[in-house]
Structure 1
Amino acid sequence: MGLASRKQEKLRIGILGTSRSTHVQLLAAALQSLKAEVVLISPTRLTVHIPGPLAVEAMPGSEPGLETLNALLVRSLPGGSLEQVIYRVDVLRRLENLGLTVINRPAVLEKTVDKFYTSALLADAGLPVPRTLVTEQFTRALETVKELGAVVVKPLFGSRGQGMVLVDNLDVAYRVFRALELGRYIYYLQQFLPHANEDFRLLVVGKEVVCAMRRRGNSWKTNIACGAVPEHVNPDPALSRLALKTAEVLGADYLGVDILICNNQPYILEANGIPGWSGLQSVAPVDIARVIAGYAVDKCLEKEKMGYSRSRRVSKWS
């Protein structure tokens, strides 16, 4: 029996995101079913006071401050200017420093929002990733197409397969890379790996792979948003170990891990620190929002059990 099923003082858990998001709504309902009080927080309305007993507020005059929550689930970090993006992550760091449990931690979000950073960390840990070249140099990018024959050009920041282009022709590469150069983009190029138009998404929560799916596409893109069809699978133990190791390396509480098989060799394509699960839920035998909510509640109760109460946290920092 998990801690979430025990009687406890009502927990206050925030969700950072928009109330219009289906994932936010599902998480809110799941948390409420576990008797937690849910606080919805817009990521664009955070205000920080330095110093002061009210350290971070979600809107003018809100009381108490967000640091008095038991936990904060991050479901959205919207794009914006460089200052806006850095500020929002810094606010999460501020909350973490004040003692708040943030899921996923800001360090994890920084690692997973940037495909280059993710791939480098996984490769450095000895995990299999596709051959990748990252550069700002137009000529070096062209040389990579000559060397590898076919590459997938990806935006450093992006999801759902949007903006990915398969380039296997030097003339096409020239036009694509010139366009990227005009926009001052980074060239993030991964060797194209034949994969029968399918790959796997595994969802890790805590130290467990809670569900997985095979995604079958009509083209080399296997994202559900690009028309791929999900199919529930019980993943091969080797794939589960890879997903769990990925989460361990990145320090994630929960993580979506995409793995492709080429010539019987698995490769980790991406790791998502704010994973969506609509496609996976359509075939999964578990209630994903309930699993994540239960994990968050259990983590809060473990922390309270260790004596780190909200009252102690506030008195320490006020």
Structure 2
Amino acid sequence: MKKIDLVYTRLRTEERMILEALRKRDCAVELHQDSDLVLSLDAERWPGGSVVLMRSMSLTRSRYLAAILEVKGARVVNSARAITTCGDKILTNLALAARGVPMPWSFAGFEEEACVAEIERRGYPVVTKPAVGSWGRMVARIDGRSAAEGLMQMRFETGSASEHVALVQQYIDKPGYDLRVYVMGRAVGGIRRRSEHWVTNTARGAVPEAYEVPASHAKLAERAAAAVGADIAAVDLLETRDGEVLVNEINHCVEFARSIEFTRVPLPELIADYAIGVLP
């Protein structure tokens, strides 16, 4: 019988739907809550199945667990490399840049005055966001020098030393929405997220809409997923008012509970099919 190991933090709507889809395909599923896993740091073979579907909500846990399980012989979806790269927006941008994938310009800085000076040189508005974070948290638009000085001071005088890095990105004047393309080796569908606010995360109140992904958007999303080494990814695209399309971010643990009823993209079934498809 086919067997998949599913690692999770808690069984949310997404994980329950994926679990049901796997079982409908006569696939045995062994569940592992990430908080319960204690794994030796050696090459002793993982006693579970050959494929692990990583659904941990924690970036720290998921990247370490994936790395350990890979050394122990498991095929992890997504890989430790993909999780680490997608989970850090600076590393994501570098991976995209290395492959020539179009994206908004951005820079990283490590000192308040130097960052403010670079923002002044490039011009306002710009966006600043944490290198590690999700759901649109701590993302801010900077419209002038006073805001730049205040936000950079907060960035460098709060948190731990490891968080004292500023990621600043070009502000894209979107036409009231952004786009998300789901990739599982290939683009399988997408959503449009519409909002009157410039931040268009559904976690921040954006309304999901059905979106027929054109071939050009699909190809761009596939290039982006390949650049970060992701098997399964949600690729966020920004469309300018002039029609240019840029890659903004890439999500390694695809969430869909807020949008699946609107988009009608059968993501649980597609994820299940992909995971089963990589079984040896």
Q: TM-score, normalised by structure 2?
A: 0.92
Matched residue type, 2:55: R
Measured in 1, the distance between the counterparts of 2:79 and 2:105 equals: 28
2:193 and 2:208 in contact (8 A); partners too: yes
1:202 and 1:256 in contact (8 A); partners too: yes
Q: Which residue of 2 aligns with 1:28?
A: 19
RMSD across aligned positions (CA): 1.8
Measured in 2, the distance between the counterparts of 1:227 and 1:19 equals: 23
Measured in 1, the distance between the counterparts of 2:115 and 2:42 equals: 48
Q: Does 1:160 align with 2:131?
A: no
Q: Which residue of 1 aligns with 2:54?
A: 74
- Cα shift at 1:181: 1.0
2:237 and 2:248 in contact (8 A); partners too: yes
Aligned length: 274
2:101 and 2:220 in contact (8 A); partners too: yes
Matched residue type, 1:129: M
- Superposed CA offset, 1:272-315 (max 9, x none): 11121123312223321011001111211xx1xxxxxxxxxxxx
1:19 and 1:40 in contact (8 A); partners too: no
Q: Structure 1 residues 215, 18: closer, same or farther in 2, change over 3 A?
A: same
- Cα shift at 1:52: 8.5
1:154 and 1:188 in contact (8 A); partners too: yes
- Cα shift at 1:145: 2.5
Q: Which residue of 2 aligns with 1:287?
A: 266
Computing the radius of gyration from Cα coordinates, the structure with the larger value is 1
Measured in 2, the distance between the counterparts of 1:125 and 1:111 equals: 14
Measured in 1, the distance between the counterparts of 2:203 and 2:68 equals: 34
SS of structure 2 residue aligned to 1:279: coil
Q: Which residue of 1 aligns with 2:197?
A: 219
Matched residue type, 2:6: I
Structure 1 unpaired stretches of 5+: 1-9, 57-64, 80-84, 304-318
Q: Structure 1 residues 22, 173: closer, same or farther in 2, change over 3 A?
A: same
1:82-97, aligned counterparts within 5 Å?
Answer: 85=60, 89-97=63-71
What percent of counterpart residues are identical?
A: 25
1:112 and 1:271 in contact (8 A); partners too: yes
Q: Does 1:199 align with 2:183?
A: no
Q: Which residue of 1 aligns with 2:217?
A: 239
Structure 2 unpaired stretches of 5+: none
Matched residue type, 1:294: D
- Cα shift at 1:205: 1.0
2:43 and 2:72 in contact (8 A); partners too: no
1:151 and 1:189 in contact (8 A); partners too: yes
Measured in 2, the distance between the counterparts of 1:138 and 1:182 equals: 9
Q: Does 1:46 align with 2:37?
A: yes
SS of structure 2 residue aligned to 1:258: strand
- Cα shift at 1:98: 2.6
- Superposed CA offset, 1:222-267 (max 9, x none): 1111111111111221111100111122221111000011122111
Measured in 2, the distance between the counterparts of 1:50 and 1:193 equals: 44
2:42 and 2:71 in contact (8 A); partners too: no
1:68-217, aligned counterparts within 5 Å?
Answer: 69-78=49-58, 85=60, 89-146=63-120, 147-183=122-158, 184=161, 185-206=164-185, 208-217=186-195
2:62 and 2:83 in contact (8 A); partners too: no
1:24 and 1:75 in contact (8 A); partners too: yes
Q: Structure 1 residues 50, 75: closer, same or farther in 2, change over 3 A?
A: closer
Measured in 1, the distance between the counterparts of 2:26 and 2:199 equals: 41
Measured in 2, the distance between the counterparts of 1:231 and 1:91 equals: 34
Measured in 1, the distance between the counterparts of 2:176 and 2:128 equals: 17
Q: TM-score, normalised by structure 1?
A: 0.81
Measured in 2, the distance between the counterparts of 1:286 and 1:77 equals: 22
